[in-house]
Every structure is written in structure tokens, then in C-alpha cells.
Amino acid sequence: MTEAAEPLWLVAANVVLWRRYGELGQELRPGTKAFRGGAKVYVIDTYPGGANEQLTAVGHGRRTNRWITIDTGTRHLHTFRAQLVYAPAVLRRCGTRIRTRAEAEELAELLERIAHDERRTRHAAPHPGHCRCHACLPLSPG
Ligand SMILES: [Zn+2]
């Protein structure tokens, strides 16, 4: 029997139900191209050099439901939180340098702030009428 890999502290998040799409963000698309809205993903890498506007996420793909690793906009995720991860499929793909719960919590806070700001500033035009994006959903702080 092979020994299970050591669990790691990672940042988990959920995919937004709807995202703004198009140059001026006047269209809405459900989830992302790779993930269903609401899907749970794990952040396994970030791009500090690019102000963390993009990150690498692992989750179940929208079409095949198999684990996939893909870069996505930080603004397409919400409710970032630290989580101790045991799933071998995630640990195998992991490129993160996080070591402790505190580091994961710090990164989760940072990414939440970036996602929040990006949803507000990414598109030059105002949100379309009856917008359902994460920033416009009722009761949504993010
Ligand atoms: Zn909106």
C-alpha cells in the first residue's frame, strides 16, 4: 500500500454563477468556460508578478467532470478560504509554496480583495441592466 500524501493548506474558492463577458462586459455567461458556476476549486498557484489577477485553479471540469488544472481570472472566483486538502488529485497538481494555515488565510484574504476590486474595475462600461454578475447579486458582498 502506498502512503497517503501529506495534506496541505490551500486556498479553496467557488466559481461565480455569472460573469460579465465581452469587451465592455455587457453580456453575461454562466460560470467560466472550464467550470460550472458554483463549482468548488482549489488555488494551486498565483501570479504575483501580474498582481494576482490570474491564478491557477484545480477543480472538476464543466464538460467531463474530471479534475482539470487551468488558469482563470481571479475575479471569476469568490469566497476564498483556507482549507486543509487531502485529495491526492489536487496535491499532485500543486505548485503552491504555501506551508501554513496562516499563509493560506493571508492569500485567501488577498485574493478575495483582488477579485472584489477586479469585478468593479475590469470593464470600463457600467454593468448592464438587471446584471446578475457576482458584484450585482443581491446579498452578495463580493
Ligand atoms: Zn454586475
Who's near 129: CB < 8 A, 6+ residues apart?
none
Is position 140 within any domain?
no
Give the position of cell 482549507. Answer: 83
Q: What is the pLDDT of residues 84-109, one digit of tens each?
A: 999 999 999 987 677 899 999 999 99
Q: How does DSSP classify residue 101? A: H
Is position 17 within any domain?
yes
Is position 94 within any domain?
yes
| Cβ atoms of 46 and 73 closer than 8 Å | no
Q: What type of residue sits at position 17?
A: L
- pLDDT confidence of 3, banded at 50, 70, 90? low
Is position 48 within any domain?
yes
Is position 88 within any domain?
yes
Residue range of the domain that includes 79: 8-121
Domain count, the chain: 1
Ligand 1 geometric centre to CA of 103 (Å): 31
The percent of the chain in helix, strand and coil, each rounded to the nearest 5, is 25, 30, 45
Distance of CA 16 to the CA centre of its chain: 8
Is position 114 within any domain?
yes
Ligand 1 geometric centre to CA of 20 (Å): 7
